[in-house]
Amino acid sequence: MNTFFITGIGTDIGKTVISAIITEALQADYWKPIQAGDLNFSDTDKVRELVQNATTKFHEEAYRLQTPASPHYAAELDGLTIDLQKIKLPFSANNTLIVEGAGGLLVPLNAKETVIDLIGLFAIPVILVSRNYLGSINHTMLSVEVLRQRNIPIAGLVFNGEAKASTEDWILSATGLPCLARIPLSKGAVDVNFVAAQAALLQPKLRKLLIL
């Protein structure tokens, strides 16, 4: 089973829409282990609404927390402690699995562990989502650095929002990572048609990842 972990260089980077596009491109299964807040319309619900293929299966979250906050704090407010050992990858017998993280790599999940510790336990490659803004080079490079320090493989980068060649080209040159996609999230509505169109463009590069 091919599995990829979608993480971002920070919060509100566009991970959920990117996850929907990649899920649709590969007709993959989708799983968000930890949902903090928005339980009436969770990220799983959002991806389900944006994906239109008949193959994708949506797996239940391991933790559904009431408050839109850092998972460690949201769990505390719910009287819980997030235990990484109890978060098990769901089995997708005949399909690729897309796992969406919460926030950035060093977002705390409990008193000692962060999102990157969860990725390390899963031992799966990361697709890193970056968005162009002042400071994004630094945030992207720091994310790449910490992933490499932990020996976590990076499948590639996805840039979203308004394109900025000087930023993106510098990051790609400095890291040596492939650009999987440039997604114009800042233009127009994000709906099933947008996701389907972007998925069709992204599909060839993603299918190459599955054979590596």
* Of the candidates 188, 195, 160, the residue with the CA atom closest to the CA atom of residue 48: 195
**Residues belonging to the chain:** 212
Question: 114: which strand partners?
Answer: 108
DSSP string, 143-199: HHHHHHHTT--EEEEEEESS--HHHHHHHHHHH---EEEEE-TTSS--SHHHHHHHH
**Helix, coil or strand: residue 182:** strand
d(CA 22, CA 131): 16
Active site residues: 32
Non-local (6+) Cβ contacts of 113 within 8 A are 82, 84
